[in-house]
Every structure is written in C-alpha cells, then in structure tokens.
Structure 1
Amino acid sequence: MKDEKAVVVFSGGQDSTTCLLWALKQFKEVATVTFDYGQRHADEINCAREIAEELGVSFHVLDMKLINQLSANALTRSNIEVKEGENGGLPSTFVPGRNHLFLSFAAVYADAIGARHLITGVCETDFSGYPDCRDSFIKSLNVTLNLAMDAQFVIHTPLMWLNKKETWALADELGALDFVREKTLTCYEGIRGDGCGECPACKLRRQGLESYLADKSGGESA
C-alpha cells in the first residue's frame, strides 16, 4: 500500500488522529477530510486543522450543516444534555446517518483526488451502541460505494476491534502517545487534551489511558 493514496475521515479526536498516524505509516500520500456539521464545539475543526498542518498532510473541510437541520442531538444542539443511553437506548450524542454521509462524501472527495483507500476511526468495541460504527455497516457501505461509483475503494478501520486501552497502545506503538494525549480533542465540552474528565467521552478515554499506563509501567518495572 506504500505506493497508494488514502483519505482519512478526520475530526482531530483521539481515534481519528491515531488512524491518521497509522495511515502515514501505510500509504505514500495521505489526505484528510473534516466535516462542519454544526457541531457544538467549532474548535474541533480548528484542532483537526492544526494537527493536519503539524503532520504535514492536506486538510479539506466539507460543509455538512444539513445534518444539523435534520436531526436534534447533543452534538449539534447546545440545549440538549449529553447523556448516556438508558434502558438499551442510544446516547443523546448519536447523530443519525453521520458516518454513512461522511464516508460517502469522503469517497467522492477521494475519487476526485485519485485515492482509493478510506480510513475511519469507527470501533465496535467501545462504540456506545452507535449502529453506524459496526463492522457489518462498514462492509456493507464499502460494497455500496463501489457499486454506486464503479470504483474499487477499500475502507480501513484500524480500531474496529480495539478498546480504548488498546487504542492508546497503538498510539504508543506509532511513537505518538504524548502527541495524541496532548493535541487531540475528544471531550464533549470542547476541552483539548485530557478534557473535562466528566463527560462520557472523557471517562472512556481516561479509563483506557490509565489502564494502558498501569500495564506499561508494570511491564517496565518487571
């Protein structure tokens, strides 16, 4: 794959940044595409832009605010509380159709720049029940995109079967543990780095990091 071009669906968060770093090891040329969908923290786009610039990859923003007009959820409406799912329901942060639309538009962009590899940070291990993070959806969409565009795209999901602890381990293997910890924005309150520590995204991120660092320090002292 070293002689090929790839597009990373990029938000500037822990997962997509780890995927970007992974892609830089796998492909000759890497581009990023970020989506402005009216997310409650505009700094997410600024963070993504800064990381892309620091890593020396192209950065492209697509306007997807239509999602905000169609769906009321905690990621696009500041007056909706961020809450975890109750009684098997989805969290208030679920944005219906987001990954479907993002990957579809990323494929159009990839086709325009001559790339056939798409990388996304979706994960079925720590996915809060989001249906559009499942492996079955990704495989289905990959087939659909190829049929719809008469193309041979390959969607890569490096984190699909990793939990947050293992995602931190991958960042460390890529030589970027501190980079991912300090530069990324995962927090639902829009705080970079370790975030607010209280929202569901921060709790998941912190638990994974603490577990990984504990194992790492134990191994180093053994």
Structure 2
Amino acid sequence: MTGQRTAPETDLPTPPLAPGTRRPGGRTARTRAAVRDAVLNGLVEHGYPALTVEYVAEHSGIHKTTLYRRWGNLEGLLVDALDLAGEDTWTPPDTGSLEGDLRALAHTTASSFEDPAAAAAPTAFIAAAFQSERAAEALNAFYAKRFDRCEAIVARAVSRNELDRHTDAGALIRAVVSPLFLRLFITREPVDGTLADQSADAALAAARAGVFNTPTESA
C-alpha cells in the first residue's frame, strides 16, 4: 500500500460508510480529496488525540458546518479519508513466478516505510486505530481490500502448478508482510531488503509445505 502524504500503500468489506462518503466526481470529489488531505496532514502534525474538526475545516477550506453535516464527526472524517485512499489503482506485483511475486510484495511493503515523510501518514493512521474503534474498522477494511487484490498472486501460482489449489491466499499474503509490520510497529526495528526476502522466502516455504492449505472435506 511517494513524497505525498497518503494513506498506507502496502499491501486492503468496507465498514458502513459515514455521511460524506459518496463517490461522485466533480466538485464533490475535490471537496472530499481536500478534506482527506487535511485529515492526513493533521494526523501527521498532531496525532489523532489532538486532531479537531476545526483543524480540518481550516486546512481544507471547507466550512465546519459542512463537515459536521456531511461527515458527522471527526471519526467520520477519519474513516472516509482511509476509505478514499483504498480507491486507488494499486495492483500486486506480477514477476512471472510465485517467489518473485512474494519477494516483490515484501520489498514494496518495506520500502513504503523507508522515507519518514512518506511513512508519516500511514503510521499515524495505524496509531489512530488504537484509539478509535471506527478508525480500527476502517484500517481493517483498507487492508482487507489490499489482501483481496493480492489473491491474484496465489491464483497465478496455482495456474502455474507452483501451489496447491487449496492454498489460503489471505493466510499466505499475511505471512509475507507480518514479520515486517512486527518490526515496523511493535518492536520498532529497522527493515531492509534482506529481511523482506527472508519474510517472503519463509512464507513461500510454508506454503509449499501445505501450512496454508484449507481443510478439505472427506469423501
């Protein structure tokens, strides 16, 4: 799931959408994007506890009354900002092999957090999820969409006879990125290309051993 402050780009059902989360184009889309940017900047600058509707109004150019009417409250703004980020066109890597795809995915995840400026917004969103139930639901929905898109990696591998057709795609993809997120957000350790390859290779070995196969009914 650049120099812009955007929601997580790494490698995700959507929770019930709050008012203001419609997807028309034109002026409404521009308004929504301006509000999204203000929310992200506010999270980066002040964190979720200090973010206010007044801040979003000032930095988006949208009157506070309009924000309350369309988004309801600060959590509604936060949910919509992450929901909008999930409407991007990101697709998982396609290198021609399962090993290459998993390694590329791991490298993409790791590199997304190398630049402190680029990582500030997604990191702030993850922190907000620990303080707001609706933010946690929105973050879960964002990554659920990302993992759904990554199912294509496993489908291609099955078609190439690289994996058993009973492989749980979601479990495999989560196994690739989980060690990276552990270091990034729990133990606060650095991640690099070597760790990315290690995470991908460990998940690949487990998949080939059938660790992620879903149970099959007996005949």
Alignment TM-score, normalising by the size of structure 1: 0.26
The structure having more radius of gyration, on CA atoms, is 2
Please identify which structure carries the higher strand content.
1
Please identify which structure carries the higher helix content.
2
User: Larger relative CO (CA 8 A, sep 6+): 1 or 2?
Assistant: 2
